[in-house]
Every structure is written in structure tokens, then in C-alpha cells.
């Protein structure tokens, strides 16, 4: 019986240690990401048939989120060929996110209202 109890304690101890290791790995992982991806996120608002800011400069790895605040649907579509990104139609308050993994200049427009144009510069 004593032996069994010892085994039990030992198993619990191993589990606890593993949990600690996992937690450490988790926080290490987050710390590494935060260092290489700052700033991690940026936003573009769609208001009055225009993208604001019209030109957004971000670091490689940034996730850019567009939010449509108009009463009319819009899209966010890369003008490059082939297209780097293309959203579905965004109704009021709907969002579209795209993570820029390469440096460069990425022009885009609203394919419903092509006078609406914007650019994301990734450095």
C-alpha cells in the first residue's frame, strides 16, 4: 500500500512538473512572438466611402483589420496581379483581417466602389 501511495505521489509530482514546463514554454513562445512581431496589429476604418488611413505603414507580420462603418457594403481587394488578398463583401460593422508576411507596398481598393483606394506599406 505504501508503495502504491508513493507511486501516486510521484505521478502527481510529474504531472505538476510537466504543467510548469508547459506554462514556461507557453510564455516563452509568447515572448518570442511579441519581440519579432511588434506592432502585432493595425486597423483601417472605412468611413464615408474612404479608407482611413489611406496609407498605412506596418512591420512585417502585422495583422491589419479593416472595419466597415458605412451604411453601404464595401470590399477590400488587392490590386496586384495575382491578388495578394481579397475580402468577401463587408456589410456594416463587419471586419476583414489579413496578416502581411512580406515587405513591400500593397495597393488595394473597394471592388464595389473602385474610387475607394488605399495602400499598406510593409517594412
SS3 (DSSP) at 80: coil
Stretch that binds other proteins, among 18-26, 36-44, 56-64, 69-77 (CB under 8 A): 69-77
Stretch that binds other proteins, among 20-28, 32-40, 44-52, 54-62 (CB under 8 A): 44-52
SS3 (DSSP) at 112: coil
Cα(54)–Cα(80) distance, integer angstroms: 17
Q: How far is the CB of 73 from other proteins (least distance, A)?
A: 6
Nearer to other proteins, 29 or 80 (CB): 80
Stretch that binds other proteins, among 15-23, 37-45, 57-65, 85-93 (CB under 8 A): 85-93
Nearer to other proteins, 59 or 94 (CB): 94
The owner of cell 509568447 is 30
- Residues 70, 112, 106, 120, Cα dihedral to 10°: -10
Amino acid at each position: 500500500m505504501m508503495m502504491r501511495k508513493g507511486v501516486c505521489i510521484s505521478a502527481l509530482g510529474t504531472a505538476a512538473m510537466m504543467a510548469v514546463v508547459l506554462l514556461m514554454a507557453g510564455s516563452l513562445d509568447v515572448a518570442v512572438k511579441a519581440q519579432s512581431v511588434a506592432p502585432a496589429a493595425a486597423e483601417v476604418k472605412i468611413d464615408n466611402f474612404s479608407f482611413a488611413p489611406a496609407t498605412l505603414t506596418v512591420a512585417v507580420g502585422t495583422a491589419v483589420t479593416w472595419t466597415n462603418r458605412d451604411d453601404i457594403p464595401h470590399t477590400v481587394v488587392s490590386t496586384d496581379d495575382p491578388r495578394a488578398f481579397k475580402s468577401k463583401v463587408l456589410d456594416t460593422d463587419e471586419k476583414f483581417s489579413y496578416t502581411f508576411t512580406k515587405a513591400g507596398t500593397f495597393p488595394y481598393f473597394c471592388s464595389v466602389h473602385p474610387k475607394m483606394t488605399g495602400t499598406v506599406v510593409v517594412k
